[in-house]
């Protein structure tokens, strides 16, 4: 029997695989219709299935080919019908503007179990902002 923790891990790995493959239907199957999404870009929040779907399609469209997503420092907590996970992602790939970028982002993913399925009801993805110049901060040099 799978533990709840492994169900949550499997759930967020499905989400990451669907992002890599830019498979919008498989990706949206991870989300609740009541999803509230705080993304890297404006506005402050995307609310509901259609707004979030449209925003993922916009993101997919920025890449010429697959999206690279490497995960680090993932932690999950599960109890009853509520769970959350947080992790860092190295988001990489060739953009349609010709740039080949790798950017660290922070991701928090919140789940509820509804009709025996774990669905994401809230997600928050961001980059830090450099307070000196108010520009996006693209992570530590490696």
Supply the minimum distance, in Å, between the C-beta of residue 24 and a second copy: 20
Region binding a second copy by CB under 8 A among candidate stretches 15-23, 48-56, 93-101, 131-139: 131-139
Which of 66, 139 has the CB closer to a second copy?
A: 139
Beta-carbon contacts of residue 50 (< 8 Å; ≥ 6 apart): none
Q: Which is nearer to a second copy, 22 or 106 (CB)?
A: 106
Q: Cα 39 vs. chain centroid, distance in angstroms?
A: 9
Q: d(Cα 11, Cα 120) in Å, to the nearest integer? A: 9
What are the two backbone dihedrals, phi and then psi, of residue 26, each rounded to the nearest 5 degrees? Answer: -65, -40
CB-nearer residue toward a second copy: 26 or 125: 125
Residues 27-86 that bind a second copy (CB under 8 A): 36, 38-45, 73, 75, 77-84, 86
Least separation in angstroms between residue 13's CB and a second copy is: 19
CB of 25 to a second copy, least distance (A): 25
Strand, coil or helix: 103: strand
Say if residue 123 is exposed, middle or buried (CB neighbours under 10 Å; 0-12, 13-18, 19+): buried
Select from 3, 19, 22, 25 the least CA-distant residue to 123. Answer: 19
Task: Return residues touching a second copy (CB under 8 A).
Answer: 36, 38-45, 73, 75, 77-84, 86, 88, 104, 106, 108, 110, 112, 121-122, 124, 126-131, 134-137, 139-140
């Amino acid at each position: 029997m799978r533990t709840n923790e492994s169900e949550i891990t499997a759930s967020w790995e499905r989400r990451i695989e669907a992002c890599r493959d830019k498979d919008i239907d498989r990706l949206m199957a991870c989300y609740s219709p009541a999803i509230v999404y705080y993304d890297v870009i404006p506005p402050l929040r995307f609310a509901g299935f259609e707004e979030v779907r449209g925003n993922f399609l916009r993101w997919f469209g920025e890449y010429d080919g697959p999206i690279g997503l490497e995960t680090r420092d993932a932690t999950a907590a599960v109890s009853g019908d509520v769970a959350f996970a947080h992790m860092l992602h190295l988001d990489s790939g060739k953009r349609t503007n010709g740039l080949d970028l790798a950017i660290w982002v922070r991701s928090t993913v919140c789940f509820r179990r509804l009709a025996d399925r774990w669905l994401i009801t809230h997600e928050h993805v961001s980059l830090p902002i450099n307070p000196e110049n108010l520009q996006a901060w693209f992570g530590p040099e490696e």
